[in-house]
Chain A
Amino acid sequence: MSSLGFYLLLTAFVVCAYALAASVAGARRRSQRLIESGIGAFYLIAAVMSAASAIIIYAFVAGDYSIKYVARYSDSVQPLFYKITSYWGGLDGSIMFWVFLLSVFGSTAVYVNRERHRELIPYVVAVISVVQMFFLFLMIVHNNPFETYLTETRADGEGLNPLLQNFYMVIHPPTMYTGFVGLTIPYAFGMAALITGYLDDSWLRAVRRWTMISWLFLSVGLGLGMIWAYEELGWGGYWGWDPVENAGLLPWFTATAFLHSVMVQERRGMLRVWNVTLVILTFFLTIFGTFMTRSGIVQSVHAFGEDPELARMFTIFMVSILTISFGFVIYRLPLLRARNELDSWVSREAAFLANNWILLFSAFFVLFATMFPTLSEAVTGERLTVGPPFFNKWMLPIGLVLLLLTGIGPLLAWRKSTLLNLRDQFLIPVAAAAVVGGAIVALGVRVWTSGIAFALCGFVTGTIGQEFWRGARVRQTTTGTDVFTALIGLVARNKRRYGGYIVHIAIVLIFLGFAGEGFKQDEQVLLKPGQQTQVGDFVVRLDAVRVTDDGQKQMITGHTTVFRDGEELARMYPAKWFFRKHEDEPTTEVAIRRSFAEDIYLVMPAFNLEEQSASMQIVINPLVNWVWVGFGLLAVGTLIALLPETVFAFAAARVPANAVTTSLLLLSLVLWPAAVVAQSGQTVSTEQRSALERQLEGEILCTCGCRRPLNDCGMFNCQGHSSQTAKLRQFLSEGQDHDAVIASFVRDFGSEAVLAAPVDRGFNRLAWLFPYLAALTALIAIVVTARRWSHPAALAAAGDAGLDPALSARLDDELRNLD
């Protein structure tokens, strides 16, 4: 079994090499067959890695303890769930899991984009193959997960560390991994664009979604890690600036920066070098983070074990990444020139730029501080360390500035904000900040950084609230619906933007939790039964220390009662558990009483059964739960931005609304693709085109088979598009006016089918409107009949002509009031 697994890894390596060679050769010789063969090989890697993964999981489940990795990370009594997840429990398996995920993601990305970005695909395959080859190479020569004991035969394994036998620890690493590995895809596309020189914005479109998905996983992974640290490790906090934590944060900074700056490139054609650089840096930092935590280069309290061999291989790989990637950037600089210059510093692009600088600075700062012990040792020979206070001293103001920019960015206009619209935009958010700030001062809050954070939270909330409100109002007037319908319609029409705003609200909530940290209270005491201690508003009394056993573990529990204002608030049971076979590694079971205002967090790190005493750590963590709520909302916001259009069309169509509202909504759905694609930036082009040309582009269909107007063709590099556009330009340059151009197109094409209008508005709209038209006709018929019947015969004699004006006026009224 183990040798089969190892051979599969070898096979994967060989196939990778072939995919690389075939793709590059195919692209250079323009041989479609070679390229196809490379892509086929690329899919094969995913299959081979799946098989290898299946084997290691089988080994865990079946308990094949002849494999060292299986013996080290599982045992026979482990629940099945943990046996399976032990796959990524250690270094060797986690590298294999990395390759497995990368092969699956890479195949998916190539499959999805193989038509649209045909010219990039061979190099995407090549780049991903190189990365896979590196990790496969590591496994083959250094970290083989299928390695077996040579002579020993083992009956049972050592078991997974109890600390890791926790729900969060099961889902946190793969979430983190998905984020890390997913960020390889944008890098591969970016590199492919650099290599081929197709440096228009098409590669950005291909990777935007991937970056967003990876970012989502990375964020959620960080959040889960924080929850795990908070609930399991029992030191009262959730972030300690440990190198392992920082490793996850580094690419998050640069990926966040990229998600913002990509909009500037889409809208304004600027920051093109910057975006490529960010993609490269993000990928580099995922590898660097892995290297940092794996090779023992950074000394941490975690038992990493130094591994100079691994460090050397990683170093070679990382240096190659940087040299080759930035070599290509420099080589392609002429193609990466910005199409526009910054018009004003009071503009949205400037705000994005500032946000990018700060995020990048954060990444470099965290990197520097994490590496500082290693750097100082290398430079001076003395190992100097910096602790969490140093990180906090720097990251606190940086975080506040970022929060401020979160609020400012949406208020500024693209290109340039005038004084008038500045006043108009900033009034409400600043007022919100002032109200919150004033309230804070009035309440006598003493931690000023937290106070500023609260005021900024008010500012950002004001900004986003205003954006939603104004958008909804505009939509309400244009669609005539109620505010709620308009709000949903607004989000649905502009998912990326409003999804982004929801993420910003999530960030506000997370910062709210961070700000609460300023009011944290922490007390360490030794208590005997009956003794009590006061922490803040709370009194904690130890009632007893009891020992119980459930067969799997021995549990020492401190029974405590918490009082506030003399009233019993809760009974809490912090404990220590001693698992069988892991008696020397007891786990600390934290007792937490949650509420939105604050958490009471009790830990019993030590006890003495003879004395019946327990040392207690009592932490009051104000507002901490908002951090978790924030992470949840962040996921929701990102998902809204990510959801495919069709999901939303369905959801929006079900919005309850009355007749005309619905018809308008449905009409807007007919025009949906245009709106969505427009907002996602596909039509963005800064070439100067006349209004007429743009209007016509919306009226003439592309002939590539997409059945969409020219300005909305979803196919990239499509033939029909360019020929039609060229034709349009030609007609326009001949001085033809709107109708003449339309006529020329119809003449050339042979029928009106080349026009968007009949297709979009003709049958479809008729179909939508038909029920309403039918209802309208029926209504008119009823009104007319009713009037006829109710009028005296004498009047009827006056004839239809006399009735007409009154009837039509009333009809108009009634029709107007119909909705």
Chain B
Amino acid sequence: MSHKAAKLGLTSLVLALAFGALLYSTLGESAQYYKHVEEVMVAPDGWYGTPMQIHGFARDIRRKRDSLEYSFEMHSKGHVVRASYTGIVPDTFKNESEVVLQGTLGPDGFHATGMTAKCPSKYEPQAGGAAGTTGTTAY
């Protein structure tokens, strides 16, 4: 019994360690910081180049003519950052809408590679259901 338990324990340990190591290494590549604009813009220098998601409200949205290049401001609790994004924006992306951007921060502003808009407030996902990624996420 003890022999069997030892074997079982050892196998589980090795497996757990292997998975842990794999998980850790892949997490390092995939994990992104999720920050609100004010958290980042207090000391933006430290965040330059870090892949992250940034949460805030859009305003002053401009689009370059005949293109999908957008330029706008993200603000939250008094802090502001200029942001740029090229691609299709969600339906709900308009001035003062709540947005989460994926991308990196640079000295000239936030370069977004992805944009997710908060769903319309009345939208409540169905309980337990796969309600999907609402708001035409630009993938």
A residues apposed to B, CB below 8 Å? 72, 88-91, 94-95, 98, 158, 161, 163-164, 169, 172-173, 176-177, 180, 221-222, 225-226, 228-229, 232-240, 242, 244-245, 247-249, 286, 289-290, 293-294, 299, 301-304, 361, 368, 372-373, 376, 382-387, 389-390, 393-394, 522, 524-526, 528, 576, 584-586, 588, 603, 605-606, 611, 613, 615, 617
Contacts of A586 in B (CB 8 A): 91
Contacts of A387 in B (CB 8 A): 30, 32, 102
Contacts of A169 in B (CB 8 A): 126
Residue contact A236 to B139, C-beta cutoff 8 Å: yes
**In whole angstroms, how far apart are the Cα atoms of A240 and B127 in the complex?**
17
Contact of B34 among A89, A303, A384, A585 (CB under 8 A): A384
A-B contacts, 23 of them at CB < 8 A, read A72-B122, A94-B126, A98-B127, A172-B126, A221-B129, A225-B130, A226-B130, A235-B139, A242-B132, A242-B133, A290-B128, A301-B134, A302-B123, A302-B134, A361-B19, A368-B23, A376-B31, A390-B26, A394-B26, A526-B68, A585-B120, A586-B91, A615-B88
Contact of A588 among B19, B53, B68, B136 (CB under 8 A): B136
Contacts of A394 in B (CB 8 A): 26
Residue contact A524 to B88, C-beta cutoff 8 Å: yes
Residue contact B129 to A161, C-beta cutoff 8 Å: no
**In whole angstroms, how far apart are the Cα atoms of A525 and B68 in the complex?**
7
Q: Does B44 contact A (CB under 8 A)?
A: no
Contacts of A289 in B (CB 8 A): 128
**In whole angstroms, how far apart are the Cα atoms of A528 and B133 in the complex?**
29
Tally of A-B residue pairs with Cβ under 8 A? 190
Contact digits for B56-96, partner A, Cβ 8 Å, 1 yes 0 no = 00000000011110000000000000000001111110000
Q: Does B9 contact A (CB under 8 A)?
A: no
**In whole angstroms, how far apart are the Cα atoms of A234 and B89 in the complex?**
12
Residue contact A222 to B130, C-beta cutoff 8 Å: yes
Residue contact B30 to A303, C-beta cutoff 8 Å: no
- Summarize B's interface: helix, strand, loop or mixed: loop
Contacts of A173 in B (CB 8 A): 126-129
Give the contacts of B97-139 with A (CB-CB under 8 A). Answer: 100, 102, 116-139
Report A177 CB to chain B, min CB distance, Å: 6
Residue contact B68 to A384, C-beta cutoff 8 Å: no
**In whole angstroms, how far apart are the Cα atoms of A386 and B23 in the complex?**
12
Contacts of A368 in B (CB 8 A): 23
Report B72 CB to chain A, min CB distance, Å: 14
| A88, A299, A383 interface centre (most CB from chain B within 10 Å) | A383
Contact of B31 among A72, A239, A386 (CB under 8 A): A386
Residue contact A383 to B129, C-beta cutoff 8 Å: no
Contacts of B35 in A (CB 8 A): 383
Residue contact A244 to B117, C-beta cutoff 8 Å: no
Report A739 CB to chain B, min CB distance, Å: 47
Contact of B124 among A91, A176, A290, A372 (CB under 8 A): A91
Report B31 CB to chain A, min CB distance, Å: 4
Contacts of B31 in A (CB 8 A): 372, 376, 384-386, 390
**In whole angstroms, how far apart are the Cα atoms of A236 and B138 in the complex?**
9
Q: Does B33 contact A (CB under 8 A)?
A: yes
Query: Provided the pairs A225-B130, A247-B128 are in contact, do residues A301 and B30 lie with their beta carbons within 8 angstroms?
Result: no
Contacts of A245 in B (CB 8 A): 130-132
Q: Does B27 contact A (CB under 8 A)?
A: yes
Contacts of A91 in B (CB 8 A): 124, 127
Contact of B118 among A180, A286, A301, A389 (CB under 8 A): A301
Residue contact B129 to A172, C-beta cutoff 8 Å: yes
Report B135 CB to chain A, min CB distance, Å: 6
Report B130 CB to chain A, min CB distance, Å: 3
Q: Which residue of chain A has its CB nearest to the CB of B121?
A: A303
Residue contact B136 to A244, C-beta cutoff 8 Å: no
Contacts of B89 in A (CB 8 A): 605-606
**In whole angstroms, how far apart are the Cα atoms of A226 and B116 in the complex?**
19
Contacts of A240 in B (CB 8 A): 132-133, 137, 139
Residue contact B128 to A177, C-beta cutoff 8 Å: yes
**In whole angstroms, how far apart are the Cα atoms of A299 and B118 in the complex?**
11
**In whole angstroms, how far apart are the Cα atoms of A387 and B131 in the complex?**
17
Report B78 CB to chain A, min CB distance, Å: 20
Residue contact A385 to B120, C-beta cutoff 8 Å: no
